[in-house]
Amino acid sequence: MPNGYRSYEFVGQFYRVMLKDKKLATRYLESAIRWKDAPVTTHNSLIAIFNELGDKRKAIDYCKLTLARFPNDPYAKSKLETMTKL
């Protein structure tokens, strides 16, 4: 495959969905969002995984990173709002 986010995202989603290994999935999804062409859904998957793992600090950090790149993302806005209220 050519260089890009897709390879990392597909492997990350495989580990997340098929093997239920969320920690390893985060490593691949973190690599995927480093690419400029990574869509907002890849960022949102990473936020969701850290939220499921209970790592609130990293979830908030990735919400802020997502909003810096995609300022109108409703998912990241709502998650950031709910996580910072508690």
pTM for the full predicted model: 0.90
Cα 7 vs. chain centroid, distance in angstroms?
Answer: 15
Domains and CATH numbers, the chain: 5-85 (1.25.40.10)
Angle formed by the axes of helices 5-17 and 22-32, nearest 10°: 170
Q: Given a cut of 80, is residue 16 above it in pLDDT? A: yes
Q: Please give the Cα distance from 81 to 83 (Å, whole number).
A: 6
Encoding tokens for residue 26?
Answer: 């985060």
pLDDT of residue 44: 97
Three-state DSSP class for residue 55: coil
Per residue in 52-78, pLDDT tens?
999 999 999 999 999 999 999 999 999
Q: Compute, in degrees rounded to 10, the torsion defined by CA atoms 45, 46, 47, 51.
A: 100
